Structure 1
């Protein structure tokens, strides 16, 4: 049986991925960020049958010794550990270099030394910046429009450099804007839903004209598993996206329609990115994922997006889940 290490297993996508891998019969070691509360993040809320199968390693992706220890006896590593909030990267960019670039270096260096069969490194659509052409394929130029995106460009290139220099078996997965249950309110869809679910019909947002290619978390998870399983993905960068473009404003209106609320949007200045840093347009080409991996979204297009939003809203409006979000406070 393959033993898979998932870094960032305590987070939004990582927890969903960890649970699905266990359901599919993989032996999973969950690398969770060490804290004094012994919290496993979202994995604390996993079903008992999932938690009973977990091998949890508490550590810090910035620590090369702990990273290497966590990777021992593993055949595959899915590296999702990262700092991802764009606003926070404006005032704490060094932490993004330490976590995203040096953390990735720790992974690929240990993989080289331990003879890991495969490393799947997580990129982001933010590395493309504002689309120069659409749909965005994997040959699109990279543009660091925020310290976050710059750090992810550096991390991607670090991972690929080990493939090119040492034949370290690295594959890059580049998800577009993932959404779904458990996502942090630093992201726009949870921000909209949590405000509306708390009785606000006048909600605060940043820019609403930029477009995004939203990818439901179940599709993203299957993208990770497809990249991990495919021999063809080594040395490749693969977009995982829905191939459907929608504006933030249209997204808010669709959420309000599903929830049966008449919506008013107020612009909150603190939520606006600096002008040259805003990514105005993202729209994924997923042709390579279809050709290389046989992957395609189950929640694609407008109908699929609405279905994904309905499932997301159902989770967020559960009072037990909603109480974990501070809808009246801007989550940086």
Structure 2
């Protein structure tokens, strides 16, 4: 039977894909989107035709407790995805990350607790910092290297404290670097793809040596849904492909798929402060495999190529590409 489910951050990249998947699975979805004067629901304005009009939207801000209470009231489950996520902007505006990611999470927790809802709290692999051992297990130490990562560590611990203090039915889902159609150009894969297409292979990037474990958005969404169905309360679960690739190698791979010769140049504006750069992320996904019966459909190098091809196909559509300012670096 379908459940009544609230999704915070439903207007964003992962949130919009998750909302579509939940509607298709027969759930009654209430999508919480960020209030703005443009009357925009973000990517939900461009959702798939079979999903359009099949979910409820509430416009607000997770920093406001009353809106969170309204959005979650009567819902069996809560997927909490709303967050500020751009790492470079967290250097410029760290307080806003605390207010949205920590205080906002507290408000969602209060609302979910009051309503008796089961809750998925979305974390990030950035909380681990540069890998001290690989692949990174959930028991790996937390080492925040940016204000963004610190705010997510705080949010994670706030969520887990509600489980320990109030026996709240929640868990922490920790996706590694998710990519796919609709992702912000502030992320590295859309940055590379959009520049490769628009600039014939001429690409400006930050550091090329750090490695990442990229998880296609379909796998992340499937993992999140498996989590809310099967994850034990109080647990933390990685979602990753168990495959790492350097940013430089990634740029070369994307250019091959686009069909252009790579010409990658270092842009100092895109380089993180030396102590803040996370040099290596590689997920141990064994817990997700064992507890959730979840396996990434886009794992390994071949899976990455398939996911990149699907993402490139979406960006190649001129109607999609025009939404991105390829000639401008936005933090």
Give TM-score scaled by structure 1 length.
0.98
Q: Map of 1:114-193 to 2, 5 A cutoff?
A: 114-116=115-117, 118-193=118-193
The CA RMSD over aligned residues, in Å, is 0.7
Q: Is the 8 A contact 1:108 1:168 kept in 2?
A: no
1:329 aligns with 2:324: no
Deviations 1:147-196 (A, max 9, x none): 00000000000000000000111111000000000000000000000011
Distance 1:228 1:255, change over 3 A: same
- For the residues of structure 1 that align with 2:39 and 2:102, how far apart are their CA atoms? 26
Deviations 1:116-156 (A, max 9, x none): 1x100000000000000000000000001000000000000
1:42 aligns with 2:32: no
SS at match of 1:10: coil
Q: Is the 8 A contact 2:200 2:260 kept in 1?
A: no
SS at match of 2:51: helix
Q: What corresponds to 1:57 in structure 2?
A: 58
Give TM-score scaled by structure 2 length.
0.99
Q: State the shift of 1:36 in Å.
A: 1.4
Identify which range, 50-59 or 274-283, moves more after superposition: 50-59
Q: Map of 1:302-313 to 2, 5 A cutoff?
A: 302-313=301-312
Deviations 1:292-332 (A, max 9, x none): 11111000000000000000000001101000000010021
Q: What corresponds to 2:16 in structure 1?
A: 15
Q: State the shift of 1:199 in Å.
A: 2.9
Q: State the shift of 1:54 in Å.
A: 1.1
SS at match of 1:311: helix
Q: Is the 8 A contact 1:175 1:239 kept in 2?
A: yes
Q: Is the 8 A contact 2:163 2:234 kept in 1?
A: yes
Q: What corresponds to 2:299 in structure 1?
A: 300
- For the residues of structure 2 that align with 1:145 and 1:226, how far apart are their CA atoms? 30
Deviations 1:240-277 (A, max 9, x none): 00000100000000000111111111100000000000
Q: What corresponds to 1:24 in structure 2?
A: 25
1:90 aligns with 2:86: no
- Structure 2, unaligned runs of 5 or more: none
1:215 aligns with 2:215: yes
Count of paired positions: 330
SS at match of 2:310: helix
